[in-house]
Amino acid sequence: MRKHLISLTAGIALAAGCVDNTIVSPENAPTVDALSGALTTAGVQTLAIGVLAADRALVRGDLTYLTLTAIYARDAYRIDPNEPRYVSETLGGQPDPGSFAGGGGWTNGFVAIRAANSLLDALPGALESQVSPQQKAVTAGLVQTIKALDYYRVLELRDTIGVPIQTAKLDEVTPLSCKKNVLDYIAAVLDSGLTSLTAAGTTQLPFVPPTGFTAFGRNYRTPANLILLNRGLKGKVDVYRGLQHSSPTAGAFTAAITELTQALGGALPGAVPASSFQNGAYVTFVPTGTEGAANPLADSRVGLNPKAQAALQTGDTRSSKIVTRSSLAGQGLSTTLTYVGTPVNTANQTRPVGILRDEELVLLRAQAYIEANQLANATADLNSVHTAYGLTAYPVFADQASARTALLYEKRYSLFFEGPQRLVDLRAYGLLKAGSTLAELASDPYNTAFPIPKAEADARGGTSNLTVSCK
C-alpha cells in the first residue's frame, strides 16, 4: 500500500508541477488587437493619418480615379505603346474586369473604408486621460466625413453597377447595394459626422492634420471648418440624390441648397468672391523618398482630347490650364495638347488635388438652383464663376436646359482634371451615349462606369453572385 501511495504522490507531484500557459501576445509588430486596446493621442493620430493616407492611395491607385475617369469623360487621352489597354479598354472597347482598366479604384477604396471603420470602432475605447470626449467627437466627425467621401469616390467609379457596404466585422461579406441605397448611406454617415462635430464644440483635432487640411485658405483642424467640409459634401451628395432619375429623393435639391449655403459660410447667390475659389481641403502629394507618392496626373503619356480645347470659349482664361506638348499619337488617336499638370516635373508631381473646394461648392449650388428651377439664383452663382475667367456675364437663363448647358461648361473647365466630376455629370444628364457625344473611335462603346473587378467576383464565387440588392 505504501508503495502505491509513493507512486501516486510522485505522479501527482509530477503532473502538478507543470506550468502550461500558452497565451502570448505578439511582441514584434502591432496587430489589430492593439486597436481594441486603449488608444493614446499618438495612436489616434497614426490611425487618423492612416485613414487619410489610404484615401490618397485610392486617388493615386491604378491611375483610375483621375486619369481613366478623365478619359471616359473625353477630356483626356492616354496613349502608351507598351500598354494599349488605356485606349482599347476605354474609348475603343469595354474594360476588362480582370485588368487594371476595369479592376482599379476598388480595393484601395475599401481598404480606406476599413481603416475608417476600424478607427471609429476603436475611438470610444481610447484612454480618457489622453483623449477627451470632445477630442474623440471631433476625430470621429473627421473620420466619418472621410469615410463618406471614400464611399462616394467608389460610387463615382461604379455608379449603378453596385457597391457593397462594409460592416464592422472583418469577415462579413455583404451584397452589392444599389446606387440609391449607397447614396442614402453616405448621407446618413455624413449626418452622423455632423452630430459628432457639433458635439465636439470648439475642441480641435488632437493632432495636426496634413497640409491639405490646413494650408489652403482654411484650417480644418477646428470642428467649425470640418462642419463646412461635411455640409459641402452632403450638399454634393444631395444634388446627385436629386438627379437620380430612377428614384430621385424628394426635397433633395432644397436640402442641397441649404447645405451648400452653410458650407459657403452663408454667402448669398453670386456673393462668393473669386479670391476664395481655391479655399478647401486637398489631397497633397510627396513624390520623393520612402513616401514616393506623386500626383498620378504627372504622366508623359497623358494628353488632352483636342475636342476639350475646341469647346473652350474665346477669352476664357481657363485656357491657361491647357498647354502644348510633343505629339502624342497611336491607336487611332492623336493630340498635341495636354493639361498643364501632366508634364513630369516637381511642381506637377506635388500638385494637390482638391477634395472639395469653394469653387465647386458654388457650382454645385448653381446646379441645385437649376434643378430646383430657381434660375435667377442659379445665374448669379454661375456668373460669379464665369466672370472670374474673363468672360461676360450670362443673362438670366430662360429655361433649365440652357442653364444646364452653361453649368456643364463651367463645371468642366473650372474643375478640369480635378476628379471624376465631369464623368458623373455626363452620366447624370444622360449625355454619354451615341448621338449626344461624338465617338472618339469607330468602336467607341461610351463606357460610363467601371465594372466590378474580377477579384471581387471570383472571391464571391462567380459573377452570378454579383446581383445588386436594393432592399
Partner 1 sequence: MRIRALSFVVIALLCAGTAGAQQRRITGTVAAREGGAPLTSASVTVQGTTTGAYTGTDGKFSVMAPATTVSLRVRRIGYQARTIVVTTSQNDVTVALERDVLQLEAQVVTGTSTAVASENAANAVTVIAAEALTRVAAPTIDNAMQGKIAGAIVSQNSGAPGGGTQVQLRGVSSILGAYSPLYVVDGVIVNNSTIQSGLNVITNASRAGSAGNFSSSQDQSVNRIADLNPNDIESIQVLKGPSASSIYGSKGTNGVIIITTKQGTIGRPTVDFTQRVGHASLANKLGSRCFQSATEYGDWANVNLGQSKTAAAAEWTAAPTKCHDYEEEYYANDDLSYETVASLRGGTQAGTNYFVSGLVHHDNGLAPNDYYNKQALRLNVTQSFGPRFTVGANSEILHSLTQRGISGNDNTGITPGDIFSNTPSFYDLQRNADGTFPRNGSGLLPGSNPFQNADLVKTPNNTYRFIGSLTSKLSLYKTSRNSVDANFTGGIDSYSSKDRLISPATGYTEAAAFGANAGTLFNSDAALLNANINGSIVHRLAMKKFSAQTSAGFRQERRESMVTQLTGKGVIFPTVTSLASAAQTFPDQTIGLSRDFALFAQEEFFALDERLLVTAGVNTEKSSGNGDQGKFYTYPKVSASYRLPFLPSFVSEFKARAAFGRAGNLPTAGRTTFLTNLLYEGFTGTRASTIKGSPTIQPEQATEIEGGFDATALDSRVRLSATWYKKQITDLLLQAPIVPSLGFTTQYLNGGQITNRGTEIELDLTPLRRGSLIWVSNTTFAKQTGFVDDLPEGIAPFNPGVGSFSPRYGNAWIQEGASTTVIQSTVGCTGGVPASGTCAAANRILGLAGDANPDFNMGFSNQIDIGPVRLTGLLEWRKGGDVVNLTNNYFDSSNLAADTLASAKRLAEFNAAQHPYVENAGFVKLREITVGYEIPERLIRTMFRGRAESLRLELSGRNLKTWTKYTGMDPEVSNFGNQPLGRFQDVTPYPPSRLFFFSVISSF
Q: Which of residues 173-232 bind partner 1 (CB under 8 A)?
A: 173-174, 210-211
Output 116 or 297, the one with its CB closest to partner 1: 116
Candidate ranges 18-26, 259-267, 392-400, 441-449; the one touching partner 1 (CB under 8 A): 18-26
Asked if 1 interacts with partner 1 (CB under 8 A), we say no
Candidate ranges 28-36, 258-266, 339-347, 401-409; the one touching partner 1 (CB under 8 A): 28-36
Q: How far apart are CA 210 and CA 44, in angstroms?
A: 14
Asked if 456 interacts with partner 1 (CB under 8 A), we say yes
Q: Are 426 and 432 in contact (CB under 8 A)?
A: yes
Asked if 85 interacts with partner 1 (CB under 8 A), we say no
The alpha carbon of 261 is separated from its chain's Cα centroid by a whole number of angstroms, namely 22
Give 427's contacts (C-beta < 8 A, 6+ positions apart). 159, 448, 449
Q: How far apart are CA 196 and CA 144, in angstroms?
A: 9
Tell me the residue ranges of DSSP E strands in 169-208: 176-177
Q: How far apart are CA 337 and CA 265, in angstroms?
A: 38
Asked if 111 interacts with partner 1 (CB under 8 A), we say yes
Candidate ranges 105-113, 193-201, 337-345, 383-391; the one touching partner 1 (CB under 8 A): 105-113
* Nearest alpha carbon to residue 243 among 408, 368, 418, 380: 368
Output 291 or 399, the one with its CB closest to partner 1: 291
- 31-70: contacts with partner 1 (CB under 8 A): 31-35, 45-54, 56-57
Bridge partners for 286 per DSSP: 293
Asked if 171 interacts with partner 1 (CB under 8 A), we say yes
Task: Count residues binding partner 1 (CB under 8 A).
Answer: 72
Candidate ranges 3-11, 129-137, 330-338, 356-364; the one touching partner 1 (CB under 8 A): 3-11
Q: How far apart are CA 183 and CA 163, in angstroms?
A: 10
Among positions 8, 271, 311, 344, the unique one binding partner 1 when judged by CB under 8 A: 8
Q: How far apart are CA 311 and CA 314, in angstroms?
A: 9
> Least distance in Å: CB of 465 to partner 1?
10
Element (H, E) at 428: helix 421-428
Output 144 or 383, the one with its CB closest to partner 1: 144
Among positions 121, 128, 399, 458, the unique one binding partner 1 when judged by CB under 8 A: 458
Among positions 129, 202, 246, 290, the unique one binding partner 1 when judged by CB under 8 A: 290
Q: Say how many C-beta atoms besides its own lie within 10 A of residue 237's C-beta.
A: 27
